[in-house]
């Protein structure tokens, strides 16, 4: 199962973490994994390109782990832009969770 943890401080997303594997299909045909990967990596790329912010990214060697933190030293304007993109990501991941709840779980801390 993919576990998505969203870390918030004062209602704002400060980081998110994805861990585990969906195992909803054979390797290369796992639609849940593909969807979660596309949404999360697409959001990271959007933040880096549109907001010009270098996120703090930790990845597992063999996949199955991604931790992304927003740097503390960014402007309020950039933070607002990132929040919008990250909230959009959470909405997309929640849509996947609603259809495939046996393979993905989202929680906030």
- Could you list the active site residues? 21, 33
In 2-55, the DSSP E strands lie at 2-9, 12-19
The dihedral region occupied by 102, where left means phi > 0, alpha psi between -120 and 50, and beta the remainder, is: alpha
Cα 21 to Cα 57: distance, rounded to the nearest angstrom: 19
| In contact, 32 and 15? CB cutoff 8 Å | no
**DSSP E strands: which ranges in 23-99?**
56-59, 65-69
* 109 CB-side CA count, 13 A: 9
């Amino acid at each position: 199962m993919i576990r998505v943890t969203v870390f918030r401080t004062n209602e704002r997303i400060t980081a998110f973490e994805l861990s585990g594997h969906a195992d909803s299909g054979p390797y290369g045909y796992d639609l849940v994994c593909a969807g979660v990967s596309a949404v999360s990596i697409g959001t990271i790329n959007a933040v880096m390109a549109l907001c010009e912010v270098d996120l703090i990214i930790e990845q597992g060697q063999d996949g199955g782990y991604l931790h992304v933190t927003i740097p503390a030293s960014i402007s309020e304007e950039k933070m607002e832009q990132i929040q919008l993109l990250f909230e959009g990501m959470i909405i997309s991941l929640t849509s996947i969770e609603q259809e495939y709840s046996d393979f993905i779980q989202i929680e906030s801390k």
